[in-house]
Structure 1
Amino acid sequence: MTGPEPFGTRLRRAMDTRGPLCVGIDPHASLLHAWGLDDDVAGLERFSRTVVEALADRAAVLKPQAAFYERFGSRGVAVLEQTVAEARAAGALVVMDAKRGDIGSTMDAYAAAFLHPDSPLFSDALTVSPYLGFGALDPAVEAATAAGAGLFVLALTSNPEGSEVQRAVRADGSTVAATVLRHLAERNAGAAPLGSFGAVVGATLGDLSAFDLAVNGPLLAPGIGAQGARPADLPAVFGPAVRNVVPSVSRGVLRHGPGVGGLRDSAARFADEVRAAVA
């Protein structure tokens, strides 16, 4: 009996048919207020449902940021569960932006929370941190593989502080980021049309030709829009790997709410610009 269809296969199809774009769902207080909503659970639910209504039937990927839900406690997590379920039911792939990373039984528990099909938070992919050692992610790798889900591993993030760890040089002369990318390439070896284990690589970082981004997996690229990167910048940043880039935009789309039409038009413009840039 064959297992579930791998995340990489589903992501490639979604990007090819819906456009190569991920829209973040980041309901921070200032954005709720900009939409005329209160910074409470009711505002959180209204915001999330509006984004799902506007985009889940047309965007390739939606990426809720777990922290903005967790700050409201159990009621906020309930809204997150609802958001994930409704987005997936409408056809979007959901990447849970939770950046989990730990060891042993704790990593097992994180994997069960986000990558087990019976979990109310089950997502198509999860962002994870490798900085307790890449091997510590094995429980998440195994859970994702069994469920047909994926991982996006922090590799070259856009925040300035990230370089002190990610570009640190190991005893063998390679950088930490290069080591993370190598591990990903090993786990994606032989996968077609695309592996399920991707890297998070900032779109604002400029020339990355010093790094081998050919990991045969997706590259989640935050920084498009409000952070300053443009779709036209992607080829210069990602080089030959640009076709596997999943550009992520949050405020650049969300600021056009709360109207459904404004959200849809903005997301469509970004998707068209990305298509033109990576063609």
Structure 2
Amino acid sequence: MSAPIPPSPAHPVVPVVPFGARLRQAMDRRGPLCVGIDPHGSLLTDWGLNDDVAGLERFTRTTVEALADRVAVLKPQSAFFERFGSRGIAVLEKAVAEARAAGALVLMDAKRGDIGSTMGAYAAAYLDPASPLFSDAVTLSPYLGFGSLRPALDAASAAGCGVFVLGLTSNPEGAEVQRATAADGRPLAGLMLGHMAAENAGATPLGSVGAVVGATLGDLADTGVDLAINGPLLAPGIGAQGATPADLPAVFGAVVGNVVPSVSRGVLRHGPDAGALRKAADRFADDVRTAVGGDTAGR
């Protein structure tokens, strides 16, 4: 039996600068890249690990130690930890605390969406500095109505954190909801993006309410969707889902400089060797900088 997992620190680092400004600084310094921590069973097997809590802990610790001091954002997928119950959540708590202590921004990929006090409880879980899962940002689903997210939006603002709201996702099933026509004639995703833009009005250098927009979607110019929300655009789909950094300008156009490309398996498949993980992340960050017109001098 593996040794007990120590608890996360009781006093997490509380931001004093809004998330959007901290993200802009991290992207400029470390490169515009988010690496997902997705410990699903097949990856654990590929790493020569058992699909159990001990394997989860080894996988997560290796990834955090290899990448937290060099990538802008680490994005643990909560579901892959939740499947192991309380011991999996303990691994997640420790990973969040250690990644933040090493300088990475932590985006909790939980995709929470609910109403009233339940949404408030989700906000407390991820956006309250007193919570052991306190993260720099969390993913949210707005499809119970954008106003249902108000408890999380307010909690994020109060704590200097951010949120990434599902806009146009890369999964094909999302289109039946996200591209449906809203009452004002826009696609529903366009309506949601409009709400995000309103939340970010006047923020500099970047708002703290981001959108999730798939990198696999192709040219969005004629879809009635405006990606100019004055906030970050999390772009999943790089790597295993088929998109490449070179695709980003065609999808995001004039706002490509605000894109945070997200890659998971494209980096994680190079483990468990820490050096190989670092090289893969560096390569993706350099490719993104080249695609969006940046340079690599900051790293």
TM-score (norm 2): 0.92
In the other structure, the counterpart of 2:77 is 65
For 2:93, the equivalent position in structure 1 comes to 81
Structure-2 residue corresponding to 1:110: 122
Match of 1:270 in 2: 284
- Give how far 1:240 is off: 0.4
Q: Which amino acid aligns with 1:234?
A: L
What is the CA RMSD across the aligned residues, in angstroms?
Answer: 0.7
Cα deviation code 1:90-148 (max 9, x no counterpart): 00000000000000000000000000011000000000000100000000000000000
- The CA distance in 2 between the partners of 1:176 and 1:8, in whole Å, is 25
Q: What residue identity is the alignment partner of 1:269?
A: R
Deviations 1:192-222 (A, max 9, x none): 0000000000000001113210000000000
Does 2:113 match 1:135? no
- What's the CA shift for 1:172? 1.7
Counterpart among 50, 56, 60 of residue 38 in structure 1: 50
Q: What is residue 244 of structure 1 aligned with on the other side? A: 258
Match of 2:67 among 46, 55, 72: 55
Amino acid at match of 2:244: R
SS of the counterpart of 1:267?
helix
Separation in structure 1 between the aligned mates of residue 55 and residue 159 of structure 2, nearest angstrom: 33
d(CA) in 2 for partners of 1:216, 1:70: 33
Instruction: Report whether the alignment pairs 1:27 with 2:26.
Output: no
- Residue of structure 1 equivalent to 2:296: none
> Secondary structure, in 3 states, of the residue corresponding to 1:224?
coil
- TM superposition shift of 1:12: 0.1
- Alignment pair present for 1:255 and 2:273: no
Counterparts of 1:128 and 1:38, CA distance in 2: 31
Report the alpha carbon displacement of residue 58 of structure 1 after superposing the two structures with TM: 0.3
Give 2:105's match in structure 1, choosing from 78, 85, 93. Answer: 93
In structure 2, give the amino acid aligned to 1:108.
G
Determine the structure 1 residue equivalent to 2:246.
232
Q: Alignment identity in percent?
A: 77
SS in 1 for 2:248: helix
**Cα offset, 1:4, TM superposition:** 2.3
Aligned residue number for residue 7 of structure 2: none
- Mapped partners of 1:173, 1:227: distance in 2: 31
Number of equivalences = 277
Mapping of residues 170-185 of structure 1, within 5 Å: 170-185=182-197
Gaps (5+ residues) in structure 1?
none
**Structure 2 residue corresponding to 1:193, chosen from 201, 205, 210:** 205
Q: 1:206 aligns with which of 203, 213, 218?
A: 218
Match in the other structure for 2:178: 166
Shift of 1:48: 0.3
TM-score, normalised with respect to structure 1: 0.99
- AA in 2 matched with 1:212: D
Question: Structure 1 runs of 4+ off > 3 angstroms?
Answer: none
Shift of 1:174: 1.1
Cα deviations by residue, 1:129-169 (Å, 9 ceiling, x for unpaired): 00100000000000000000000000000000000000000
**Counterpart residue type for residue 278 of structure 2:** R
Shift of 1:45: 0.4
Report the secondary structure of 1:258's partner residue.
coil
